[in-house]
Amino acid sequence: MRIGPLNLANSAVLAPLAGITDLPFRLLVKQSGCALVYSEMISANALVRESTKTLKMLDSTTEEKPLSVQIFGTEPAIMAQAARMVASSGADLLDINCGCAVKKIAKTGSGVALMREPKTAEALFRAVRRTVDIPLTIKIRSGWDVSGRQAIEFARLAEACGIDAIAVHPRTATQGFRGQSDWSVIAAVKDAVSIPVIGNGDILSARDAVRMEADTGCDAIMIGRAAIGNPWIFSRYLALKTGQTEPNVDLAMRIETMIRYVRAMVDYRGESRACHMLRSRLGWFVKGLPHAGAFREAIKSVTAEDEALAAIDTFCATLEKRSIPEHEIGATDDEGFAAAEDSGTKQQPAIAGPRNR
């Protein structure tokens, strides 16, 4: 897989997820074999204003490379300035969001609204392309009607402006996050351009990812919500892709992953902030498992790293003591971790919250 001058190790890509794909989460996914990870969607205006909270979203480390940082906005000059800041931060790729259908984003002319303003989009793409040398990509939707024709025309425009790759989420702007994605739109975009096309939407399992590649001819697959609490979906996909058996996720692997996540969160956020966030986030990793409810209840009030680790240890001991069958802990079918993709607006206590941008 190649995007511009950048060679990727494989075709597995993590989607940008608002409130989710921060540095600690990206590291988990990277350790599960994902070749390219995306930041959360970042406001170009906030970057240019040098908002402390926004600047922190550019934090990275060599272990997660390559990293793509996604920005959104409408004004070419501001987007170019933000792009320069992203490139200076050490990001390996820059992505422009042209697909977010959340009303508060679209009403400003950003996100998917750019798809019905091709002249604005063209000016923006060219301004950013002139500013940075790192690979430049975009993420789009089908457009504003079910035909997907806008996606094809927009992809051709992007290619003409020097965009190096396009991620396609084949739901319409009016569809929002409801219904089914139309993978045929991905195939049509792939046929229309010569740059790499990344398929995204309704990948709920490793088998779905392999099927999307076969059905659409896309160059890579992008997984979002199905990776929440289930970073192993990438290793499972890569195994299936190469004709191997999906790796089993046993109790030891789950616990070890949760412990790594706790420590990474504390290192990155500080103990107080990390523990507040872990009260909901740790529940991701036990979804569908026996006694998951008791575990989520136990972590609701954690205030220290040791408390979080103790809760994990107690959960593990409970499963071992009650001899929970291994197939209930490490089933190869990861569909149980995924809900209907892309619902909700803010980070919520459970998996239903974040949006795939």
- The residues that are catalytic are 100
Cis-peptide into 231, omega within 30 deg: no
Query: Are β-strands 220-223 and 136-143 bridged in parallel, bridged antiparallel, or unpaired?
Result: unpaired
The closest alpha carbon to 226, from 247, 252, 207, belongs to 207
SS3 state at 36: strand
Q: How far apart are CA 103 and CA 109, in angstroms?
A: 10
Helices (H) and strands (E) in the chain, counts: 15, 10
Go through 56-91 and write b for each residue having 16 or more CB atoms within 10 A of its CB, e for each that does not: ebbebeeebebbbbbbbbbbbebbbbbbbbbbeeeb
How many CB atoms within 10 Å of residue 13?
A: 27
How many CB atoms within 10 Å of residue 332?
A: 17
Residue 253 tokens read as 């692997």
